[in-house]
Structure 1
């Protein structure tokens, strides 16, 4: 599974509508409204790198109100939840 984080700049008055349209795209797992230089961050999960183009360039970037996107592909995921699950299985030592 390929995970990418997409930072999205949106027309300010359209943030809620754009967020809903983006989260409705297949391959997009979550959308966060954030502070800072961007308005939304989308978590994309697809099976292959080639699928990223269809989700991001083919659909997300074409949502009305999206002004700009930047994509970061995750190499490795670190999760506190994964670590805690290991401890629940008796793997703590």
Structure 2
């Protein structure tokens, strides 16, 4: 499984709408509205790197109001939760 954190800047008047749209995507497990340099953070969990590339370059690019993204690829999860079991397909 590939996990990525997508940091997102959006148009101010579209934050809630974009957050709802992102939360409805199957490969996005969580969306957070945050303070600081970004408006939203999306947690992406996909099977292959190609799936991540498809999401970021084709789907997010088409959402009106997303101004900028910064995608961080997770190498290893340090958690007490078995994430693989929770998100297995």
Normalised by the size of structure 2, how large is the TM-score? 0.86
Q: Distance in 2 between matches of 1:48 and 1:18?
A: 24
Deviation beyond 4 Å, 4+ runs, structure 1? none
Assess if the C-alpha contact under 8 Å between 1:8 and 1:39 holds in 2. Answer: yes
- 3-state secondary structure, aligned to 1:77: coil
1:3 equivalent in structure 2? 3
Q: How many residues end up aligned between the 2 structures? A: 82
2:87 equivalent in structure 1? none
More relative contact order in 1 or in 2 (CA 8 Å, sep 6+)? Answer: 2
Which 5+ residue runs of structure 2 have no aligned equivalent?
Answer: 83-89
Which 5+ residue runs of structure 1 have no aligned equivalent?
Answer: 84-93
Larger Rg: 1
